[in-house]
Amino acid sequence: MSPLPEAELVRSSLQLYRYLLRCCRRLPQGHIQQHYRHTIRQSFKVHADEDDPERIQQIIKRAIEDADWVMNK
């Protein structure tokens, strides 16, 4: 089960970025939310130059799994 129902619609890095920021809105306000928003932004910047479609899909899959873990934690 994914944190938000739109997880299966994520196909691009920009869609992933938006999806993860929407997930952050469901976290408690304050430091936790700020921490994950910062982490999402940093990860997006680190992987911004990735151009291999297979690698991008791996990153998307892993990020959604990680978001699921955080949301269930």
Assign 62 a pLDDT band (cuts: 50, 70, 90): very high
pTM assigned to the model: 0.81
Q: Is residue 37 part of a domain?
A: yes
Task: Please count the structural domains in the chain.
Answer: 1
Q: Where are the alpha helices (DSSP H) in 7-73?
A: 13-25, 31-46, 53-72
Burial class from Cβ neighbours inside 10 Å (0-12, 13-18, 19+) for residue 5 reads exposed
Higher-pLDDT residue of 4 and 59 is 59
- CA-derived radius of gyration, the chain: 12
Residue 39's domain comprises 7-72
Q: Is residue 1 part of a domain?
A: no
Q: Is residue 2 part of a domain?
A: no
Q: Is residue 31 part of a domain?
A: yes
Q: In percent, how much of the chain has pLDDT > 70?
A: 93
pLDDT(39) > 90: yes
Q: What is the rounded CA–CA span in Å between residue 52 and residue 57?
A: 9
